[in-house]
Amino acid sequence: MSDLAIRTVGLGKKYRRGLHVEPYRTARDAIASLVTTPFGRGPRKQEDPWFWAVRDLTFDVAEGTVLGVIGPNGAGKTTLLKLLSRVTTPTEGYAEFRGRVATLLEVGTGFHLELTGRENIKLNGAILGLGRKQIAERIDRILDFAEVREFADTPVKRYSSGMFMRLAFSVAAHLEPDILIVDEVLAVGDAAFQKKCLGRLGEVGAEGRTVLFVSHNMAAVNQLCDRALVLNKGHIELEGSVRDVTEAYLTSFAGASAEALFEPRSDSPAYISRLVTTSAEGRPQSRFTSDEAVVLEVDFEVVQRLDGARVWAWLYSADGTWLCGATDSEANPSAPATREAGAYRTRFAFPAHVLNEGAYQFRALISTQRGMRNWDYHDDRSSGFFELEDTTDYTSSDLGKRRSLLLVPMAAEEQRIERHAAVVG
Amino acid sequence: MTTVEKPLTVIRPQEGWRALNLAELWRSRELVGFLAWRDMQVRYRQTAIGVVWAIAQPFLTMVIFSVVFGHLAGLKSEGLPYPLFAFAALVPWQFFVYCLTQSGNSLVANQSLITKVYFPRLAIPLGVVLAGLIDFLLASVVLGAMMVYYGVAPTRAVLLLPVFLLLGLTTALGVGTLLSATAVRFRDVQYVIPFLVQFWLFATPIAYEPGIFPQPWRSILGLNPMAGVVEGFRWSLLGSHTAPGYSILLSGAVAVCILAVGLVVFRRMEASFADRI
């Protein structure tokens, strides 16, 4: 199987919940937790502290393939890259790859602010696996690509953030490994440089190198990759040619019906029984136009009298970006502080003319007053999805259909003014 | 097909004890050099006297020791001029302290590297030791100048000096790997290090001559490898009376043990550095 660059079999990684949140683990923390939960039985203890960030990942990547990895936030994309780049070790499973691997989980890893651009290129190159000779050969190309040649001997702490990012990306883009693993690095720099980066990555792919490219940017994935893989909740959900996968990924949201019903829960004092997206008039629907408000109805059951419970609605874009959110008490000051047992309905309305077209998801939650403890939460693929279509008539507009995330109109006014005095010096 | 030449890398779960991967460490020797170079570059940026600090630190300590212990307290110095007596010990001692304090914190300080890039993690404490060695060489030049000034010529025993340096290196790397790996889990280490350094300073015959201890304490002092290093430096360079005897073997054995424990702990914890740091 010499034409495979990467092969994984049942790769999985288990993390302990909480460890990421506590940045330090000290003896004092141990004592502090003893004081707050003297018998070691905090409410959180009921949950299994271990969770699988990714599991059962089995896939092959042929040599020369540019594979895009897509998925919502928290799907395990970064964990997968960390495993393949050997930053962390798997809990189970097996993977092998042929050739030298370079990873780019972050631009500017190991950059030191006190060092000059040239010095940082040397250091960063060495960290990413280049030898002294290889660095010397490439240093001019790297400086030129980053457009920072005149600042080569200036400490990078004096660089603008754009210059810094450009330099950092250029080092990585000139590594020329057999396998390149890239995570979200295109979110750097100005649009022109992003285009240049995409071009450079495309070249890397064309040179027959294998590239693993993680991105939220569906357009970039479509443009660069041959194949794509969708991760969701740590599992591979879809895999195939990039066109098939991105299409299936986007339409998987559209298939969802407006209404989702949930089983009663006996383990919680309150639970969500129904989520439905409706028009302003209350008609259930999952397709909206940009001039309509989108209403989320959260029906919930209070099993026993509850003080200070909160209902939350969060809005996400299809790629998992958190857009906005509200609690019932914020949005509705007359929301009751105490609820007797019974059935309730909260309606959250998202205004028209704000979001551009695309697929979106509402996620709903019932929690205690400050969200210290969740009673019920729904973020799965089967609920809260809706599609928005921009039906604005752009025939008389200069720009045509917007490609921005938001459609919110801006005000503009114009007047005649005096000429500015010429700037001297 | 060129594919045949490409190295195959296998990833599988890693639990428990692992052997030292010397081949991989050797391949990343340039990285060790670069990390040491970075430390050197960064340390004295925006300082007025720059690299002179590498010399000034042991030199000023020597001046203080000479005034307090040599002059005021009148401690004996094996018939040598007290400043020279103290400085010959302070040069390897400062190297050791540098390694101890810097490598103890080195993994935590390089957190962003560890969580983002793979490389043999041992390169980090090794880079620290290498940077310390460069400071050590600079300070050695001053030591040589002082020997000329006081008219003290080394004896033939100077040929054994590399042995004592190696002993110091072994101890420094051992303690460094142990502390740096432990600090990943327990940040308490950073508070322990200053006390450790202070305690170790008093347990090492730097300000005083080892002869002030009666037997059997004199032999027990040999358990401290740095005592062996300091005595060895004075003996081989300055020709002090007390030639290191069996105690140097004891020091050597202890140093090797410390390094072995340090490396084993480091390797054992290495796989989880990125997750736990």
| Strand duo A322-327 + A310-317: pairing | antiparallel
B121 chain-A contacts, CB cut-off 8 A: none
**Structural domains in chain A (count):** 2
Q: Indicate whether A335 pLDDT > 80.
A: yes
Q: Are residues A23 and A168 in the same domain?
A: yes
Show Cβ contacts of residue A267 under 8 Å, excluding neighbours closer than 6 positions: none
Centroid of chain to Cα B93? 8
Whole-angstrom distance, CA of residue A258 vs CA of residue A233: 23
Q: Which long-range contacts (CB under 8 A, 24 or more apart) does B13-17 make?
A: B13/A89, B13/A90, B13/A91, B13/A92, B13/A93, B14/A89, B14/B271, B15/B271, B16/B268, B17/B264, B17/B267, B17/B268
Q: Indicate whether A36 pLDDT > 60.
A: no
Residue A417 lies in a domain: no
pLDDT in tens, A273-282: 999 999 988 8
pLDDT in tens, B165-217: 999 999 999 999 999 999 998 888 989 999 999 999 988 988 888 877 777 77
Residue A405 lies in a domain: no
Q: Higher confidence at residue A414 or residue A245?
A: A414
Whole-angstrom distance, CA of residue A159 vs CA of residue A119: 14
Q: Which two tokens stand for residue A110?
A: 């190991």
pLDDT reported for residue A114: 85
Q: Higher confidence at residue B208 or residue A378?
A: B208
A110 chain-B contacts, CB cut-off 8 A: 112-113, 117
B7 chain-A contacts, CB cut-off 8 A: 98-100
B235 contacts B244 by C-beta, under 8 angstroms: yes
pLDDT reported for residue B180: 93
Residue B9 lies in a domain: no
Domain housing B207: 24-276
**B128: enclosing H helix or E strand:** helix B123-150
Mean pLDDT of all residues in A395-421: 83
Whole-angstrom distance, CA of residue B66 vs CA of residue A313: 72
pLDDT reported for residue B2: 44
Going by the DSSP 8-state scheme, the letter that residue A189 receives in this structure is S
* Whether the bond into B205 is cis, omega within 30 of 0: no
With a threshold of 0.90, tell me whether the complex ipTM lies above it.
Answer: no
AA letter at A19: L
Q: Which two tokens stand for residue A258?
A: 């407006």
pLDDT in tens, A256-272: 577 888 888 888 889 99
pLDDT reported for residue A30: 59
Q: Are residues A213 and A77 in the same domain?
A: yes
Residue B163 lies in a domain: yes
Asked which of A252, A280, A298 is the last residue of a domain, the reply is A252
Report the chain A residue with the minimal C-alpha distance to residue B118: A87
Q: Tell which B residues from 195 to 254 touch A, by Cβ distance under 8 Å.
A: none
A22 chain-B contacts, CB cut-off 8 A: none
Q: Are residues A163 and A50 in the same domain?
A: yes
Residue A275 lies in a domain: yes
Beta bridge partners of A387: A287, A359
B46 chain-A contacts, CB cut-off 8 A: 114
Mean pLDDT of all residues in A171-182: 82
Report the chain B residue with the minimal C-alpha distance to residue A94: B12
- Contact with chain A for residue B40, Cβ under 8 A: no
Q: Tell which B residues from 130 to 189 touch A, by Cβ distance under 8 Å.
A: 185-188
Q: Indicate whether A296 pLDDT > 90.
A: yes
Asked which of A252, A269, A288 is the last residue of a domain, the reply is A252
Whole-angstrom distance, CA of residue B261 vs CA of residue B264: 5
Do the Cβ atoms of B41 and A115 come within 8 Å? yes
Q: Indicate whether A222 pLDDT > 80.
A: no
Do the Cβ atoms of B11 and A83 come within 8 Å? yes
Which residue is it, tokens 């799907």?
A: A75
Report the chain A residue with the minimal C-alpha distance to residue B38: A123
Please choose, from the candidates B177, B205, B179, the residue with its C-alpha nearest in 3D space to the C-alpha of residue B120: B177
Q: Are residues A129 and A149 in the same domain?
A: yes
A82 chain-B contacts, CB cut-off 8 A: 274
pLDDT in tens, A4-30: 889 999 999 988 876 444 444 556 665
Do the Cβ atoms of A83 and B45 come within 8 Å? no
Of residues A24, A25, A96, nearest to B11 (C-beta)? A96
Report the chain B residue with the minimal C-alpha distance to residue A121: B34
Q: Tell which A residues from 69 to 98 touch B, by Cβ distance under 8 Å.
A: 82-98
User: In which order are the strands placed within the sheet that holds A101-104?
Assistant: A101-104, A179-183, A210-214, A66-70, A227-232, A235-241
Asked which of A204, A225, A252 is the last residue of a domain, the reply is A252
Q: Give percent above pLDDT 90 in chain A.
A: 16
- Contact with chain A for residue B47, Cβ under 8 A: no
Mean pLDDT of all residues in A331-343: 86
pLDDT reported for residue A254: 54
Segments of chain B scoring below 50 in pLDDT: 1-4
Q: Higher confidence at residue A362 or residue B219?
A: A362
Residue B261 lies in a domain: yes
Do the Cβ atoms of B112 and A2 come within 8 Å? no
Q: Are residues A78 and A13 in the same domain?
A: yes
- Which band of pLDDT confidence, cut at 50, 70 and 90, is reported for residue A190? low
Whole-angstrom distance, CA of residue A222 vs CA of residue A243: 7
Q: Give percent above pLDDT 70 in chain A.
A: 85
Q: Which two tokens stand for residue A357?
A: 């077209």
Mean pLDDT of all residues in A216-222: 69
Residue B15 lies in a domain: no
Q: Higher confidence at residue A116 or residue A108?
A: A116
- Contact with chain A for residue B20, Cβ under 8 A: no
Q: Higher confidence at residue A166 or residue B241?
A: A166
Whole-angstrom distance, CA of residue B64 vs CA of residue B58: 10
Do the Cβ atoms of B31 and A83 come within 8 Å? no
pLDDT reported for residue B89: 92
pLDDT in tens, A380-406: 666 788 888 888 877 777 777 777 888
Q: Higher confidence at residue A260 or residue A253?
A: A260
pLDDT reported for residue B3: 43
Mean pLDDT of all residues in A95-104: 85
- Which band of pLDDT confidence, cut at 50, 70 and 90, is reported for residue A251? low
Of residues A103, A114, A122, nearest to B117 (C-beta)? A103
DSSP A343-404: EEEEEEEEPSSSBPSEEEEEEEEEE-TTSSSEEEEE-STTSSEEEEE-----TT-SS-S--S
Report the chain A residue with the minimal C-alpha distance to residue B108: A24
Q: Indicate whether A126 pLDDT > 90.
A: no
Q: Are residues A192 and A316 in the same domain?
A: no
Q: Are residues A278 and A339 in the same domain?
A: yes
Which residue is it, tokens 């704000």?
A: A354
AA letter at A227: R
> Rounded to the nearest 5 degrees, what angle is found at the Cα of A236, between the Cα atoms of A231 and A240?
95
**Structural domains in chain B (count):** 1
Say if residue A315 is exposed, middle or buried (CB neighbours under 10 Å; 0-12, 13-18, 19+). buried
Do the Cβ atoms of A122 and B34 come within 8 Å? yes
Residue B254 lies in a domain: yes
Show Cβ contacts of residue A35 under 8 Å, excluding neighbours closer than 6 positions: none
Q: Are residues A234 and A305 in the same domain?
A: no
Longest dimension (CA), chain B: 78
Which residue is it, tokens 């879809």?
A: A238
Q: Are residues A163 and A302 in the same domain?
A: no
pLDDT reported for residue A250: 66
- CATH label of the domain that carries residue A287: 2.70.50.60
Whole-angstrom distance, CA of residue A213 vs CA of residue A242: 12
Which residue, among B1, B12, B182, B191, would best test binding to A if mutated, counting the most A CBs under 10 Å from its CB?
B12
Do the Cβ atoms of B114 and A95 come within 8 Å? no
Do the Cβ atoms of B275 and A15 come within 8 Å? yes
User: In which order are the strands placed within the sheet that holds B8-11?
Assistant: A50-62, A4-16, A92-98, B8-11
Residue A410 lies in a domain: no
Q: Are residues A201 and A291 in the same domain?
A: no
Domain housing A383: 259-389
Do the Cβ atoms of B30 and A24 come within 8 Å? no
Residue B18 lies in a domain: no
Q: Is A8 left (phi over 0), alpha (psi -120 to 50) or beta?
A: beta
Going by the DSSP 8-state scheme, the letter that residue A256 receives in this structure is S
Do the Cβ atoms of A86 and B115 come within 8 Å? no
Coil, strand or helix at A197: helix
Residue A399 lies in a domain: no
- CATH label of the domain that carries residue A202: 3.40.50.300
Report the chain A residue with the minimal C-alpha distance to residue B275: A88
